[in-house]
């Protein structure tokens, strides 16, 4: 497809791809701008998807008029079209150039418990949200409705929030055609709806409803429709649609509050009451800015909880900590606590049954034996890996290698989605840079194979590794041996067609379980794929994010002997491959007190290791 911008023909290089959404691919123009190119019906992501092809055709037809009429004078924190990309004659609009935001993270990150534990603070979240409030108010003052306001359409640099995807904004006669289920105002639904599909257009009020969802998600790491409906009395469990229509929110007594979420009691009663008014009593209107700006968060010196109350809601400041038993028994599960810190565990891995980890305490990052790796405060932008006694720390395009008794070494690496591309097992470290996959060797770095520069994600297990890229119209995946050079590429994965949000991999002998999260059709969907040693798909499954099942979260999984153990708020679930489908075959509810959906599971020599924010516990089934 030929593209012309400001009189010049453009060459779209997949290595310059910045991201991929459900409707467009984004490229770096190299001049401080990014280029958003709308997917055409024949795009590979729409192969065999008739509905998506028809939607793409309709979307392109509307953009011919809408983008030429785009309103001027919107706030500078809105990333608006600066120049239209067209065909050679300038007759057909195919995309647009816009300002490029360097080092930006989606606001969604602020609602992730792992991000918050790693150093993202509520105080910073309030600064971000207050700035976003002013931007949204100014957009409305300009006669524009965002329409699909959600935490992926807001990018944050430092504590500055920017609205993106402006081409879907609603103005004049142009109605916003897209929505995100978690942020959808129930007042836009039909009272007898069977699906979360709006029948009424977006409004200023629905934008403010979505903003309130964003505030709650960013401050508590759970939205109003989070948690699992578990009726205490006799009665059927409500599905997602019924919960929305009946306003059965996370505040309802029959909804189990997610364990990884931050305690509701960390927020003042005034804020909690406001959430209840909006999400249960249907209060609408602009979110009160003074409520946001009046929040003052502090960290309890006794228990470390960050809260915005006059006194810590979870403890007495000078009380003696209650002693918890080292070993606990519940039914068929024996739990033994192996490690506790008043700080936070930021990384853990296991190789050949040995668990190694990095934690932050007393102003320093430390290894499992207490030795200091690096001093400094918590920083959620850091990425960690361990290679035996060696600790790897990545940030941006650089990885520091800390070996005991030696000065740090540094590696230049590619970044993908703003994250450094590297991984390690007990014997070796691997990284991508300059279009190559590299491994440490006895005489220096060794090139292991060729990869797509700046677009490759990398995972490694005890014996082999997995990598993949999905940039623009290109898709590719490969396996590689930890000891022999070369890549087994050309893997045919069941690629998701929406925006890829996250990925994780768990290794077990000669197989690997790959987990992908995508935003598709206004929903967040999780995919699980079991690959054999030849890269062929043995089994797969998918589920909506946050549905309470074993696939409701992406992490918290450990592969053992061909089976997968998954942590949920209700205990452990064993998953196996049956006739090409990954299915839950057994539940372990006795494990419920010792696990949650936000923990990590590792296989140790002593049993199943549960890695929490501050505690490592071994579980044994009797």
pLDDT of the residue at 143: 97
Are the C-beta atoms of residues 500 and 20 closer than 8 Å to each other? yes
pLDDT in tens, 33-56: 999 999 999 998 888 889 989 999
Please answer whether residues 600 and 555 qualify as being in contact, where contact means their C-beta atoms are separated by less than 8 angstroms.
Answer: yes
CA 558 – CA 539 distance, rounded (Å): 17
What's the rounded Cα separation, in Å, for the pair 44 and 61?
A: 20
Asked whether the beta carbons of 432 and 414 are under 8 A apart, the reply is yes
Strand order in the sheet with 344-351: 344-351, 354-361, 364-367, 372-375
* Nearest-angstrom CA–CA distance, 84 and 511: 47
Mean pLDDT of 566-574: 96
pLDDT in tens, 238-267: 999 999 999 999 999 999 999 999 999 999
pLDDT, average across residues 577-583: 97
37-51, 126-140, 201-215, 412-426: the lowest-pLDDT one: 37-51
pLDDT above 60 for 322: no
pLDDT over 70 at 328, yes or no: yes
Asked if pLDDT for residue 497 goes beyond 90, the answer is no
**319 pLDDT exceeds 70?**
no
Q: What is the DSSP letter of 396?
A: T
Write down the pLDDT at residue 325: 65
pLDDT of residue 318: 43
Residue range 315-323: mean pLDDT, rounded: 47
**Residues 81/167, Cβ–Cβ less than 8 Å:** yes
The residues, ordered by sequence, that sit 6+ positions from 536 with a Cβ below 8 Å of its Cβ are none
Q: What is the DSSP letter of 183?
A: G
With a cut of 80, say whether residue 320 has pLDDT above it. no
Q: What average pLDDT does the segment 216-220 reach?
A: 97
Q: What is the mean pLDDT of residues 188-201?
A: 95
In the predicted model, what is the mean pLDDT of the chain?
A: 94
The percentage of residues in the chain with a pLDDT greater than 90, rounded to a whole number, is 86
pLDDT band at 316 (very low <50, low <70, confident <90, very high): low
Q: What count of Cα atoms within 13 Å lies in the side-chain half-sphere of residue 390?
A: 19
Return the DSSP state at 31: S
In this predicted structure, what is the pLDDT of residue 395? 97
What pLDDT is recorded for position 305?
87
CA–CA dist 547, 549 (Å, integer): 6
pTM of the model: 0.93
Residue 471 confidence (pLDDT) above 90: no
Percent of the chain with pLDDT over 70: 98
């Amino acid at each position: 497809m030929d593209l012309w911008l400001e009189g010049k023909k453009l060459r779209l290089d997949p290595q310059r791809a910045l991201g991929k959404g459900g409707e467009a691919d984004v490229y770096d123009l190299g001049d401080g701008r990014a280029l958003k190119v709308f997917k055409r019906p024949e795009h590979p992501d729409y192969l065999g998807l008739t509905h998506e092809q028809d939607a793409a055709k309709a979307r392109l037809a509307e953009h011919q008029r809408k983008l030429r009429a785009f309103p001027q004078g919107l706030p500078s924190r809105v990333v608006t079209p600066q120049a239209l990309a067209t065909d050679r004659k300038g007759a057909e609009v195919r995309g647009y150039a816009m300002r490029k935001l360097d080092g930006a993270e989606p606001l969604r990150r602020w609602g992730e418990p792992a991000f918050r534990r790693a150093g993202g603070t509520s105080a910073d979240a309030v600064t971000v949200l207050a700035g976003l409030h002013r931007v949204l108010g100014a957009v409305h003052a300009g006669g524009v409705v965002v329409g699909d306001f959600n935490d992926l359409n807001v990018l944050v640099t430092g504590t500055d929030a920017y609205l993106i995807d402006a081409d879907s904004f609603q103005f004049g006669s142009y109605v916003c055609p897209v929505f995100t289920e978690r942020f959808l105002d129930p007042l836009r639904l039909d009272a007898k709806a069977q699906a979360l599909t709006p029948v009424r257009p977006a409004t200023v009020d629905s934008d403010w409803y979505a903003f309130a969802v964003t505030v709650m998600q960013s401050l508590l790491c759970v939205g109003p429709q989070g948690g699992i409906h578990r009726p205490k009395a006799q009665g059927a469990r409500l599905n997602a649609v019924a919960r929305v229509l009946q306003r059965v929110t996370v505040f309802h007594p029959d909804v189990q509050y997610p364990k990884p979420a931050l305690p509701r009691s960390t927020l003042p009663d005034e804020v909690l009451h406001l959430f209840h008014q909006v999400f249960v009593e249907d209060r609408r209107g602009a979110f009160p800015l003074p409520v946001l700006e009046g929040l003052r968060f502090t960290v309890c010196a006794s228990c470390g909880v960050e809260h915005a109350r006059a006194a810590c809601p979870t403890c007495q400041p000078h009380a003696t900590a209650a002693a918890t038993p080292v070993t606990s028994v519940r039914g068929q599960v024996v739990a033994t606590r192996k490690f506790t810190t008043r700080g936070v565990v930021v990384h853990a891995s296991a190789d050949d049954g040995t668990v190694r980890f990095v934690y932050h305490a007393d102003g320093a990052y430390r290894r499992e034996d207490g030795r200091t790796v690096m001093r400094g405060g918590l920083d959620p932008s850091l990425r960690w890996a361990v290679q035996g006694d060696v600790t790897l720390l990545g940030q941006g395009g650089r990885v520091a290698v800390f070996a005991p008794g030696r000065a740090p070494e540094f590696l230049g690496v590619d970044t993908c989605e703003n994250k450094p591309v590297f991984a390690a097992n007990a014997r070796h470290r691997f990284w991508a840079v300059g279009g190559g996959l590299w491994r440490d060797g006895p005489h220096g770095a060794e090139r292991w194979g060729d990869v797509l520069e700046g677009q490759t994600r990398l995972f490694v297990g005890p014996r082999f590794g997995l990598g993949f890229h999905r940039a623009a119209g290109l898709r590719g995946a490969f396996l590689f041996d930890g000891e022999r050079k070369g890549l087994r590429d050309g893997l045919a994965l069941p690629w998701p067609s929406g925006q890829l949000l996250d990925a994780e991999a768990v290794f077990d002998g000669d197989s690997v379980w790959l987990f992908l999260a995508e935003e598709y059709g206004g929903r967040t969907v999780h995919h699980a794929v079991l690959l054999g040693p030849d890269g062929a798909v043995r089994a797969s499954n998918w589920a909506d994010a946050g549905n309470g099942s074993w696939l409701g979260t992406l992490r918290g999984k450990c592969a053992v002997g061909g089976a997968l153990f998954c942590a949920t708020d209700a205990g452990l679930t064993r998953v196996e491959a049956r006739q090409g489908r990954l299915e839950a075959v057994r539940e372990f509810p006795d494990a419920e007190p010792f696990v949650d959906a936000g923990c990590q599971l590792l296989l140790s020599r002593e049993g199943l290791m549960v890695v929490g924010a501050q505690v490592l516990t071994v579980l044994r089934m009797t």
